[in-house]
Structure 1
């Protein structure tokens, strides 16, 4: 994975946390968004962990470029800024995870594994803010999301429900007794039909449409 933060002390601390897990390998570090983008282009890591405020190119702009050019690399934002504006922008631009530097270090390891496996992950504090915002939107009317979900097939609806619960493609395949390639095809079809760009936006659409009540796992 790639680790990008403009503060060397922060990078050292995060790298020390990641080193606790032998399944996670940091293949490169970057001190700004341009360096991060270049490293992703050269190394194609499974995950890019980006700070938001970095020189030359901020983390959210870098996330957008990575999502557009190199969708095989999932992006997690790791920041001190948990304001709704930053969360919303990051998710809209293609981030699959959003973690706070004040979170328990175990959240970082859990989030990296979830995103690397094709899922999405929000730290509990961030998830609470997102859910609160979505609940307000649903009270004002969640018709568009419900109408979009109605256009899905029964199997796509099943996949979306589990995707909204934060399950990876492999976990969805095991739950529904499908091969992983079939799940990937369903996810691609779901994104197209819902008009969303990534799994996080699809999960949000699932919540807005009322599928969250059927979810069996939270955290994404």
Structure 2
């Protein structure tokens, strides 16, 4: 309950109608939480949030990452706490949404009790990170850390030997999972290397990275070995 004894107001935003209805059913079992509205997209959520000023907005990551980031950033800028509901094993969108200001994240496999507790905690001003989600984020951050090793020794626009190797394999058409298996590292580490490579080279996506490799010459042609541990 809020300080005046009234239930905390919750706004649900997700593009899956069945999920929204399921979430509403969960909150019906919590007398101190009331779902005041549902939104199927970011624009609708922003309109409802501005009018209703919910205590917590529960945002699903089913929509495009950029849309979620914009929504989270706008809501938090309005002083409205956001809890993310993630149903993906890819932590990239989570990192971006949390960086945009979200106060917590729970996985879709979480129990109804845990979900309710998480929303209550955020309504109290706390931060919530489900254990399942935390594990994915740690893997993602570990990948970024490993990809960034040696960055101080690299000039702007240049890549480390491992980043060159990953770029080479991207140009060969391998998926992140295939690259991870080839180099005997985690997929998160591969993603981290690609992220750093794109930033340093000023490229937008892996397609541009592959084109860049083919235009400038394969990294292995510049002396990079093919040892799995390289």
TM norm structure 2: 0.54
1:40 pairs with 2:49:
yes
**Kindly tell me: are residues 17 and 131 of structure 1, through their superposed partners in 2, closer, same or farther at Cα, counting changes over 3 Å?**
same
1:128 pairs with 2:135:
yes
- State the Cα deviation string for residues 50-107 of structure 1 (Å, max 9, x = none): 112337x732321111112x11x10011121242201210110000111111222222
User: Aligned partners of 2:144, 2:86: CA distance in 1, in Å?
Assistant: 26
User: Aligned partners of 1:22, 1:96: CA distance in 2, in Å?
Assistant: 22
TM norm structure 1: 0.57
What is the match of residue 8 of structure 1? 17
1:200-215 pair list within 5 angstroms: none
What is the match of residue 96 of structure 1? 103
What is the match of residue 59 of structure 1? 68
**Kindly tell me: are residues 82 and 118 of structure 1, through their superposed partners in 2, closer, same or farther at Cα, counting changes over 3 Å?**
farther
For the residue of structure 2 that corresponds to 1:26, the secondary structure is: strand
- State the Cα deviation string for residues 85-142 of structure 1 (Å, max 9, x = none): 012101100001111112222221111011000001011101223345557888999x
1:1-220 pair list within 5 angstroms: 1-54=10-63, 58-68=67-77, 70-71=78-79, 73-132=80-139
What is the match of residue 178 of structure 2? none
For the residue of structure 1 that corresponds to 2:33, the secondary structure is: coil
What is the match of residue 213 of structure 2? none
User: Aligned partners of 1:4, 1:82: CA distance in 2, in Å?
Assistant: 20
Task: Tell me the C-alpha RMSD between the 2 structures.
Answer: 2.3
> Mind listing any 5+ residue stretches in structure 1 that lack a counterpart?
142-220
> Mind listing any 5+ residue stretches in structure 2 that lack a counterpart?
1-9, 150-230
Structure showing greater relative contact order (alpha-carbon pairs closer than 8 Å, 6 or more residues apart): 1
Give aligned pairs, total: 138
